[in-house]
Amino acid sequence: RAKETGKARAVIHSPSHIGPPQHDISLEAAMFQAVREGEFLLYYQPIVDARTRAIQGFETLMRWKHPTLGMVPPARFIPIAETNGLINLLGAWALKAACVQLKQFEDVARRNLYISVNISPRQFRNDKFLEVLDDALAFSSMRGEQLVLEITEGTLMIDPVHAEAILSKMAERKARIAIDDFGTGYSSLAYLKRFPISVLKIDRTFIRDLPAAQKDGAICNAVLDLAKHLDLSVVAEGVETEEQLHYLAARGCQYIQGYLTGKPMAANVALAALEDSIHANVVPAELRQVHP
Ligand code: C2E
Ligand code: MG
Ligand code: MG
Ligand code: MG
């Protein structure tokens, strides 16, 4: 293993670790075409209450439906868009479209929901970002409280002084900040004190092997405890089993996001799920079927 070879460490990497391979240049060219052709779309994944499983909000996840390649995963195209700057265009579109979509979700659900949108480091640093944010809020006539912006620890740490200024502007608009993939970055916990953060999203890698994995359990417990004392909400990402949900709910985790309670889905499918949830609510509790 590279670790044991000392000096050679830096050069012994599998190709997947040295960034996008050269042939992604054609993928990059295809992306510009895809923007013109409108091949990008948004999926929505429910974020639910861990106890009642009621949908509280949705995370917006971008998809690229290429005519011959099929669905290109964001893990492949977001890094390219981040490099060439296309993320600013795509991200602005996603933010505005998601805010508009939330209104339709709420109309069907007949209650307040929120929408969570991923913001990449480059978007966050872009001079126009606040304009983009204001435009999305104004165009959708959505209240800032209903918007959660997901950023990573890395995004905050690139330029903490700038980050502090932007976050205070977001706070003025009442938009909430979630730390995505919490626990996987390199930053110190001091930033939780420094920045106005509202939500921690526990990374999927800490959830995956629950409840068996003791170290993962210890980390989840520590995050839940930390969040409680700092008055932050917690969303556990990547919950796939009932056992994981029960483990987390029993330890006070309030919100869950994962395949168990809903995969990322097209807007019309999300609308149908919301409609079903209304009908579920009109059935008297004693007649409601308990989960098998
Ligand atoms: P993320 O923001 O951490 O999003 C969560 C990812 O976990 C999504 O992958 C989602 O489909 C996946 N996931 C959710 N529940 C489960 C589960 O139970 N099991 C498993 N195995 N996976 C689950 P996705 O959609 O492929 O997105 C990957 C990443 O791409 C996102 O990670 C985010 O960093 C980025 N991304 C996606 N959409 C956007 C966007 O509109 N803008 C920006 N800047 N980044 C985006
Ligand atoms: Mg996210
Ligand atoms: Mg995440
Ligand atoms: Mg992630």
Q: What angle do CA 98, 116, 66 make, to 5 degrees?
A: 55
Q: What span, in angstroms and rounded, lies between the C-alpha atoms of 230 and 241?
A: 28
Q: At what angle do helices 86-109 and 267-282 cross, to 10 degrees?
A: 20
Closest CA to 65 of 29, 40, 31, 37: 40
pLDDT for 287 equals 52
Q: What span, in angstroms and rounded, lies between the C-alpha atoms of 170 and 149?
A: 9
Helix (H, G, I), strand (E, B) or coil at 202: strand
CA of 118 to the centre of ligand 3 (A): 9
Q: In whole angstroms, how far apart are CA 29 and each of 16, 40, 68?
A: 21, 14, 14
pLDDT for 24 equals 72
Extract the residue ranges of the chain whose pLDDT is less than 70.
Answer: 1-23, 281-292
Query: Pocket of ligand 1, candidates 47, 61, 200: which has the most ligand atoms within 8 Å of its Cβ, to mutate?
Result: 61
Compute the radius of gyration of the chain from its Cα atoms.
20
Q: What span, in angstroms and rounded, lies between the C-alpha atoms of 199 and 100?
A: 23
Q: What is the CB-side half-sphere exposure of residue 87 using CA atoms within 13 A?
A: 21
Amino acid type, 50: A
CA of 180 to the centre of ligand 4 (A): 7
Locate tokens 């508009």: which residue?
A: 100
Q: Which atom of ligand 1 is nearest to the CA of 42?
A: 41
pLDDT for 16 equals 53
pLDDT for 278 equals 83
CA of 150 to the centre of ligand 2 (A): 6
Q: Which atom of ligand 1 is nearest to the CA of 150?
A: 2
The residue whose CA has the least distance to atom 25 of ligand 1 is 61
Residue 196 contacts residue 163 (beta carbons within 8 Å): no
CA of 181 to the centre of ligand 4 (A): 5
